[in-house]
Amino acid sequence: MQFDHLIPVIRRLALEAGDVILAIYESPDFEVKAKSDASPVTEADEAADALISAGLRAAFPDLPLITEEQADSHALSARTFLIVDPLDGTKEFVQRRGDFTVNIAYVQDGIPLHGVVYAPAKGRLFYTLPDGTAVEETGDFDKSTPGPVQPIRVSDPDNSALMVVASKSHRDQATDDYISRYAVRDMTSAGSSLKFCLVATGEADLYPRLGRTMEWDTAAGDAVLRGAGGQVVRFDTHTPLEYGKPGWDNPFFIAFAPGVELKR
């Protein structure tokens, strides 16, 4: 894989999908349907998925492609693939809260090496460079010419005063009980894969997730966090979260800045 080719393609597709999503988000009304697992899906999810999938298949025809919205792709079994969540945070989108993201990642041998996370309503764009380091881009988000980028790096955490980020839509008692094991300076809530990015930029030290997620929910944010020096581990074993698992289900996990003294 030529990463000098990959990064501009996934960046451009994320931005183009973000335009499609925002056009629907800013419309007076949009249709919301329920998937087989009762989770919501909107026309924005479907339109963004179609755009990104077509672009990735054209650019990388030999790579397996996994997306949330294409059920037949879930039968694939691969260790190296592209994986997409065209609109992570559909609940935030439906409630017009803005915390939704476009996510595209490249996984190699079970590791998310590269990814892009774009939050169109927030105007924040994070991705990995070809060398694997993570940046946040500012500016006008021109599709063909990247604007100024700022390298991002995880915090140097103070275990006596940690900053914790947790899910906005999926917060539960188990998560609160786990967080209570730490000395917490402050907490914030965020939707979608933005939580990984807040750890990546040092705006938070710790993000525990004690709930169901799928690999497309986490791969791009995981890649950005890894590129910023962070880690994502399984909740039960504290071993790195791997990708390409049967069914694409994730175990519970913890995303954090190294230096955080993880609790069990």
The CATH number for 228's domain is 3.40.190.80
Q: Which amino acid is at 121?
A: A
Look up the pTM and report it.
0.94
Rounded CA-CA distance 18/106 in Å is 19
Number of domains in the chain: 2
Look at residue 65 and tell me if it is in a domain. Answer: yes
Residue 2 tokens read as 């030529």
Q: Look at residue 73 in the predicted model and tell me its pLDDT.
A: 62
Residues 192 and 122 in one domain: no
| Cβ-contact 72, 65 below 8 angstroms | no
DSSP for 53-109, written as a single string: HHHHHHH-TTS-EEETT-GGGGG---SSEEEEEEEE-HHHHHTT----EEEEEEEET
Closest CA to 221 of 191, 250, 196: 196
SS3 of residue 194 by DSSP: helix
Cβ–Cβ under 8 Å, residues 218 and 233? no
Neighbour count for residue 38 (Cβ, 10 Å): 6
Same domain? 125 vs 246: no
Tell whether 200 is covered by a domain. yes
Phi, psi of 222 (to 5 degrees): -60, -45
Give residue 71's pLDDT: 56
Q: Is residue 188 a part of any domain in this protein? A: yes
What was the pLDDT predicted at 10?
A: 98
Cβ(129)–Cβ(151) below 8 Å: no
The pLDDT profile of the chain, 264 residues, written as one tens digit per residue, is: 899 999 999 999 999 999 999 998 988 777 666 554 546 567 888 999 999 999 999 999 999 999 988 755 655 677 899 999 999 988 888 888 888 999 999 999 999 999 999 999 999 999 999 999 999 999 999 999 999 999 999 999 999 999 999 987 667 889 999 999 999 999 998 989 999 999 999 999 999 999 999 999 999 999 999 999 999 999 999 999 999 998 899 999 999 999 999 998
**Residue 187 sits in the same domain as residue 141:** no
Bridge partner list, 158: none
* 103 and 44 fall within a common domain: yes
Answer yes or no: is 261 within a domain. no
Structure tokens belonging to residue 215 = 């690999």
In this structure, are residues 257 and 199 in contact, taking their beta carbons and an 8 Å threshold?
A: yes
Calculate the CA 41 to chain-centre distance. 17
User: Within this chain, do residues 170 and 142 fall inside the same structural domain, yes or no?
Assistant: no
Q: Is the domain of 56 the same as that of 187?
A: no
Which of 101, 124, 151 is the last residue before a domain boundary? 151
Q: What does the radius of gyration of the chain's CA atoms come to, in whole angstroms?
A: 17
**Domain final position from 151, 177, 205:** 151
**By residue range, what is the domain housing residue 38?**
3-151
Q: Distance between CA 84 and CA 67 in Å, rounded?
A: 5
* φ/ψ of residue 127, rounded to 5: -165, 170
- The fraction of the chain above a pLDDT of 70, given in percent, is 92
Question: Same domain, yes or no, for 131 and 103?
Answer: yes
**Could you read off the pLDDT of 163-197 as tens digits, one per residue?**
999 987 667 889 999 999 999 999 998 989 999 99
Claim to verify: residue 89 and residue 139 sit in the same structural domain:
yes
